[in-house]
A and B are shown apart, each in its own frame.
Chain A
Amino acid sequence: MKYFFIGVVFCLCVFVGYIISRKYIKRKRFFESIIAFADKLSLDINFSRERLKVLIENFDLGSRKNLLGIDCAFLDFLDKKCDLSSEVVFKKADVLKEEEKDLVLLFLKALGRSDVENQTKEISGFVTRFVEIKKNCDEEQKKYGTLSLKLGIVAGLFLVIVMI
Chain B
Amino acid sequence: MLEKILPEKIYKIISEKVNFKAINEIRLRADKPVLLNEGGKFFYLGENGTTSKQSEAIFASKIMVEDVVFRASECSIYSVNEQIKRGFIVTDDAVRIGLGGNIVEENGKIKTMTNFSSVNIRIPHLIKNCSLSAFSFIVKGQNIENTLVVSPVGAGKTTFLRDFVSQLSLHNIPLNVLLLDERGELDFLINSNFCDKIAFSSKKIGFENGIRSLAPDLVVTDEIGQEEDIEAIRFAVGCGCKILASCHCDNLENFSKKTLFQDLLKEKIFKRFVFLSKRNGPGTLEGVYDENMSRIFRNF
B114-163 residues at the A interface, CB under 8 angstroms: 114
User: What B residues does A119 contact at CB under 8 A?
Assistant: 77-78
State whether A53 touches B79 (Cβ < 8 A).
no
Q: Are B75 and A115 in contact (CB under 8 A)?
A: no
Q: Please name the residue on chain A nearest to B66 by beta carbon.
A: A113
Q: For the complex, give the distance between the alpha carbons of A50 and B70 in Å.
A: 15
Residue from A114, A115, A117, A119 with most neighbouring chain B CB atoms (10 Å) = A115
Q: Do the beta carbons of A52 and B81 come within 8 Å of each other? A: no
B112/A52 in contact, CB under 8 A? no
Please count how many residues in chain B sit with their CB below 8 Å of the partner chain's CB atoms: 15
Is there a chain A Cβ closer than 8 Å to B91's Cβ?
no
Q: Which residue in chain B gives the minimum CB-CB distance to A48?
A: B79
The yes or no answer to B246 lying at the interface (CB within 8 A) is no
* Chain A residue total in the interface (Cβ 8 A): 17
* Cross-chain contact of A116 among B4, B75, B78 (Cβ < 8 A): B78
Which one of B71, B73, B81, B112 contacts A80 once the chains associate, using CB atoms below 8 Å? B71
- Residue A97 is within 8 A (CB to CB) of chain B in the complex: no
A78 within 8 A of B: yes
| Measured CA separation A112–B71 after assembly (Å) | 10
A118 to B111, CA, bound (A): 11
Residue of B nearest to A77 (CB): B75
A50: nearest chain-B partner, CB-CB: B79
- The residue of chain B having its C-beta at the shortest distance from the C-beta of A119 within the complex is B78
Asked whether, in the complex, the Cβ of B81 is within 8 Å of the Cβ of A116, the reply is: yes
Of B74, B111, B114, the residue contacting A53 (CB under 8 A) is: B74
Residue A135 CB within 8 A of the other chain: no
13 of the cross-chain contacts (CB-CB < 8 Å) are A49-B76, A49-B78, A50-B76, A51-B75, A52-B75, A53-B75, A53-B76, A112-B70, A112-B76, A113-B77, A114-B77, A115-B77, A115-B112
Interfacial residues, chain A to chain B (CB-CB below 8 A):
45, 49-53, 78, 80, 111-119
